[in-house]
């Protein structure tokens, strides 16, 4: 009887541990998503104003600042790759508008 109770207790702890890891992973995704949303907004403004270099130049500074700030905060590899792709888009506008 005691061994059954012990086994049930261990199984319950294992299941709770798995759920906790899933919850933490989902929270990390949510945090990274919120960070990337702010960066994406700045990058979109740069892209929208790419045809007007005078308007785009100050936006470039803001976008690069958000990218650098986000790089230190992101926790997932996929989020870092997304950030790199956003930076490439800003770099393209920066090359056109030196």
Domain that holds residue 87: 27-96
pTM: predicted TM-score of the whole model, two decimal places: 0.71
Work out the pLDDT band at 9, boundaries 50, 70, 90: low
Q: What is the average pLDDT value for the chain, to the nearest integer?
A: 81
Residue 54 lies in a domain: yes
Residue 48 lies in a domain: yes
Residue 15 lies in a domain: no
Condensed to tens digits (0 to 9), the pLDDT of residues 59-91 reads 999 999 999 999 988 888 888 888 899 999 999
**Which residues does 67 contact at the CB level (< 8 Å), separation at least 6?**
39, 42, 43, 83, 86, 87, 90
Residue 22 lies in a domain: no
Residue 2 lies in a domain: no
Residue 6 lies in a domain: no
Give me the number of domains the chain comprises.
1
Across 24-43, b (16+ Cβ under 10 Å) vs e yields eeeeeeeebeebbeebbebb
């Amino acid at each position: 009887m005691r061994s059954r109770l012990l086994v049930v207790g261990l199984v319950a702890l294992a299941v709770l541990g798995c759920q906790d890891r899933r919850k933490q992973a989902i929270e990390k995704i949510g945090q990274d998503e919120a960070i990337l949303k702010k960066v994406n907004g700045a990058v979109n403004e740069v892209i929208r104003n790419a045809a007007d270099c005078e308007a785009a130049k100050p936006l470039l500074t803001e976008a690069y600042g958000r990218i650098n700030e986000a790089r230190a905060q992101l926790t997932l590899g996929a989020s870092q790759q997304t950030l790199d792709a956003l930076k490439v888009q800003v770099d393209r506008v920066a090359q056109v508008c030196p």
